[in-house]
Amino acid sequence: MEGHRDDVVSNRPRKVYSDDQLAIEIPETAHQISSDSWFQVGFVLTTGINSAYVLGYSGAVMVPLGWVGGVVGLILATAISLYANALIAYLHEFGGKRHIRYRDLAGFIYGPKAYKLTWVLQYINLFMINVGYVILAGQALKAIYVLFRDDNEMKLPYFIAIAGFACGLFAICIPHLSALRIWLGFSTFFSLIYIVIAFALSLRDGIRAPPRDYGIPGSNINKVFTTIGACASLVFAFNTGMLPEIQATVKQPVVGNMMKALYFQFTVGVVPLYAVAFMGYWAYGNETSAYLLSSVSGPVWVKTFANISAFLQTVIALHIFASPMYEYLDTKYGIKGSPLALKNLSFRVVVRGGYLTVTTLLAAALPFIGDFMSLTGAISTFPLTFILANHMYLVAKRNKLSSLQKSWHWLNVVFFGFMSVAAAVAALRLIAVDSKNYSIFADV
């Protein structure tokens, strides 16, 4: 493990809660901390929000909300996401300790029950994000296939299986989050390719196309549920659900450097997302597909290049969101030393391969990417990023906050709690409707 003395997590397990009868212990991490610049961390965050998921926001966000709701919603989601992530970043060294995992921070503030609950919520959040990534990678591969052979012989689940295998190989080769390094450069390059191509081809199609219908589709009751689901997709778009784990990799001063990375993410980093979401909706109206590259027209080689880039970037991005699970397992079973050591390599093959096999199986069985974005935002992104962040800050800083500030944080807790419940109901309804319309392992 690298870093200055103050940055190193103690080799001895430490308590995360002060009551000796309730104390839980967390071990030293098997992964690197305090080794990355704020700029590298900023690219990690930007890679997350500009992954191939951006190709779905025209359909998942703009279509259900329309121009006014979509534009205002994306801007508001950007602002409140920056605010909520800043609250978490400021608590990273709360109590004179460095909290390198989300559950460590929750456990230190609340106790062991919150430690376990936060880990469950975060695991669900990251697992479902990874399911979505495998679906996206499969869709990109299928889009390439359809460009050359539209015979319907190869179904989407087959491509999802291929994508899962590729993600497994990458997970075996990259031991931890800090080891991505040059791959973040490749990820940015791949992102720029499919974003520029999607933007340019959508612009060309929009100029040539007749007037589009921008009305919000569906019956009144369907509009209510799709609007709520789109709100969950909005918060999903900008948040990782693993900020302390990412912040753990940044060099000292950890709060100052993390804030630089967040400002980078929510200024420069959001521009490509906005551009693709707005342009896709402008070009195709409410007929925009859930995967924008399926809507665009243009030279086959250009679309192939874009889809290959989307596939490769998705493989890299998935590794970021799977890293907390990998860190937990590597630490629990003492996987340290050379990544090429036989024990370590075998462990990654079996454990990470098994994890991604389960992920791929669920992705192939229920390949409804928009529904997964909504459900993930509802049951984990809302609680982790907005409810928990505001309440943890309220508890941690209660003696330093004015009555007005406390009321503000409580308002956030209550409002986002209501939104979480409503969005979960809407997302489950969407999944139920899609499950009736399509069979398991559907070719959508």
Tell me if the pTM is above 0.85. Answer: no
Would you say 262 and 189 are in contact if contact means Cβ atoms under 8 Å apart? no
> Using CA atoms, how far apart are residues 165 and 359, in angstroms rounded to an integer?
11
Tell me, rounded to whole angstroms, the distance of Cα 65 from its chain centroid.
21
239 phi/psi in degrees, rounded to 5: -125, 145
Mean pLDDT of the chain: 84
The pair of structure tokens assigned to 154 is: 């190869």
Does residue 217 have a cis bond before it (omega within 30 degrees)? Answer: no
The pair of structure tokens assigned to 261 is: 């990375």
**pLDDT, tens only, 153-180:** 888 899 999 999 999 999 888 887 777 7
User: pLDDT at residue 15 above 60?
Assistant: no
User: pLDDT at residue 22 above 60?
Assistant: no
**pLDDT, tens only, 63-110:** 999 999 999 999 999 999 999 999 999 998 888 888 888 888 988 999
45 phi/psi in degrees, rounded to 5: -65, -45
**pLDDT, tens only, 177-235:** 777 778 888 888 999 999 999 999 999 999 998 999 999 888 888 888 888 888 888 88
Structure confidence at residue 1 (pLDDT): 33
Beta-strand runs (E) in 20-130 = 25-26
**pLDDT, tens only, 352-408:** 999 999 999 988 887 766 666 677 777 777 888 889 999 999 999 988 999 999 999
Number of alpha carbons in the 13 Å side-chain half-sphere of residue 351: 19
Structure confidence at residue 237 (pLDDT): 83
Residue reference for tokens 């229920």 = 366
> Using CA atoms, how far apart are residues 40 and 181, in angstroms rounded to an integer?
8
